[in-house]
């Protein structure tokens, strides 16, 4: 049985397990069944998340949940949203996003596709796909596919922390973060962004993700933040790949971001800004190792757009994280990123194929690529065991990641 430490004292640990342990006793948690694809009401995802107390949310139905332009807020701590329990083709949220505002939350195996909801350009409809808010700690956003956001795809924010503590120990693992809409409904106009780490958020691990066709923030770390960017693939960035904020006269009192950037691959698209010939832009207390990048013509990118002193050792690093080589990282992302890699939907298949085939492009509306998905609902009854729920959830996760036979056993080394 796991026990919780106060948010400010718990260690920052990486986990390779398919079901991350955030200090929640899954066997003791109540089980809430999602039985309806409606936006609200009995049996819906929205209502399930309002139930107090530790809980596992499972899905007796698959299909599209139209959030009707009203996002879902996760305000109760100790929540495990198990998208892997849905039958194929899984759960897709449209016309809204998710805001995680509580500690010890795991969100897995969901598609989140806000889109422009048919709203006029610059109308102010600007949801993130998935974000943290209010200073949560120990949050895992794992194997999710987030496209067509109007602000960021996935962000780590401390916005309005009730305790004054920053959001911390946020993990963004094995996700697809792609096609954030550019000239769409954001009030500022063109605004295609991948991931924003801001508001003093600390210890953010961004690992094993595919960023494709976001103009910038793939990801970006603002001042007074910290984290690692490891083994990601950034394809077709419109203007910037990985970057961090540069202090100005107004922000000179804030420390630069503390980051380690290791084992990432950047592939420019045909229309990527050619003057931004670098893997990293901005400045940081930064450590860089084994990153590779290439422009549209196959020429290597510079590591830094503007030189600055870099560190010999990572300023921060989660315990237990072992970076892959760049080639291995590219293969892992190709095969295993996204909500249900073993049975990718048509949208994820297209995004992966275009990202690695050189045909990815920045878009202004989901209608340019076929529009919102239409999925015939599928139902089944999830039978949740009383004990050994972690092992049960791992088995289901392995099936949607690796296929019906689950995760293969590790090969023994050849003598």
Distance CA 218, CA 383 (A): 39
Helix/strand/coil for 47 = helix
Distance CA 119, CA 189 (A): 13
Task: Please answer whether residues 366 and 181 qualify as being in contact, where contact means their C-beta atoms are separated by less than 8 angstroms.
Answer: yes
Of 125 and 411, more confident: 125
144-195 pLDDT, tens digit per residue, is 999 999 999 999 999 889 999 999 999 999 999 999 999 999 999 999 999 9
pLDDT band of 9, cuts 50, 70, 90: low
pLDDT at 274: 87
Q: Is the pLDDT of residue 6 over 50?
A: no
207-262 pLDDT, tens digit per residue, is 999 999 999 999 999 999 999 999 999 999 999 999 999 999 999 999 999 999 99
Task: Please answer whether residues 397 and 143 qualify as being in contact, where contact means their C-beta atoms are separated by less than 8 angstroms.
Answer: yes
Mean predicted lDDT score pLDDT of the chain: 95
Q: Is the pLDDT of residue 3 over 80?
A: no
**Cα angle for residues 374, 379, 385 (degrees, 5° grid):** 135
pLDDT at 5: 41
pLDDT at 413: 53
Q: Is the pLDDT of residue 140 over 90?
A: yes
Write the burial class of residue 176 (CB in 10 Å: 0-12 exposed, 13-18 middle, 19+ buried). buried
C-alpha distances (whole Å) from 272 to each of 205, 216, 253, 269 are 26, 10, 33, 5
pLDDT at 7: 55
327-386 pLDDT, tens digit per residue, is 999 999 999 999 999 999 999 999 999 999 999 999 999 999 999 999 999 999 999 999
Going by C-alpha positions, the residue among 200, 130, 131, 137 that lies closest to residue 168 is 137
């Amino acid at each position: 049985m796991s026990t919780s430490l106060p948010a400010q004292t718990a260690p920052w640990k990486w986990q390779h397990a398919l079901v991350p342990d955030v200090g929640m006793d899954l066997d003791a948690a109540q089980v809430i069944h999602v039985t309806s694809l409606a936006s609200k009401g009995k049996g819906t995802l929205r209502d399930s998340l309002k139930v107090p107390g530790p809980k596992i949310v499972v899905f007796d139905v698959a299909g599209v949940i139209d959030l009707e332009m009203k996002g879902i807020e996760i305000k109760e701590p100790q929540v495990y949203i198990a998208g892997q329990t849905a039958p194929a083709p899984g759960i897709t949220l449209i016309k809204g996003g998710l805001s995680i505002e509580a500690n010890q939350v795991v969100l897995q195996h969901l598609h989140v596709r806000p889109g422009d909801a048919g709203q006029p350009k610059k109308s102010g409809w600007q949801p993130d796909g998935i974000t943290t808010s209010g200073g949560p700690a120990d949050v895992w956003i794992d194997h999710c596919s987030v496209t067509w956001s109007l602000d960021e795809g996935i962000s780590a924010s401390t916005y309005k922390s009730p305790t004054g503590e920053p959001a911390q120990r946020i993990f963004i693992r094995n996700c697809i973060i792609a096609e954030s809409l550019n000239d769409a409904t954001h009030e500022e106009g063109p605004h295609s962004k991948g991931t924003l780490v801001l508001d003093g958020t600390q210890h953010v691990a961004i690992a094993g993700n595919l960023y494709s066709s976001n103009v910038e923030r793939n990801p970006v770390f603002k001042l007074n933040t910290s984290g690692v960017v490891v083994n990601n693939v950034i394809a077709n960035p419109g203007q910037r790949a990985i970057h961090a904020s540069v202090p100005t006269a107004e922000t000179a009192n804030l420390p630069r971001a503390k980051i380690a950037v290791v084992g990432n691959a950047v592939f420019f698209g045909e229309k990527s800004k050619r003057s931004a010939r670098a893997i990293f832009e901005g400045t940081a207390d930064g450590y860089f190792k084994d990153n590779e990048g290439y422009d549209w013509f196959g020429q290597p990118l510079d590591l830094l757009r503007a030189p600055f002193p870099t560190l010999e050792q990572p300023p921060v690093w989660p315990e237990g994280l072992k970076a892959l080589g760049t080639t291995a990282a590219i293969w892992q992302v190709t095969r295993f990123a996204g909500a249900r890699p073993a049975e990718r939907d048509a949208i994820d298949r297209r995004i992966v194929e275009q990202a690695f085939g050189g045909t990815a492009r920045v878009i202004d509306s989901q209608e340019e690529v076929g529009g919102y998905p239409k999925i015939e609902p599928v139902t089944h009854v999830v039978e949740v065991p009383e004990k050994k729920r972690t092992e049960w959830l791992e088995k289901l996760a392995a099936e949607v990641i690796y296929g019906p036979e689950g995760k293969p056993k590790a090969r023994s080394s050849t003598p």
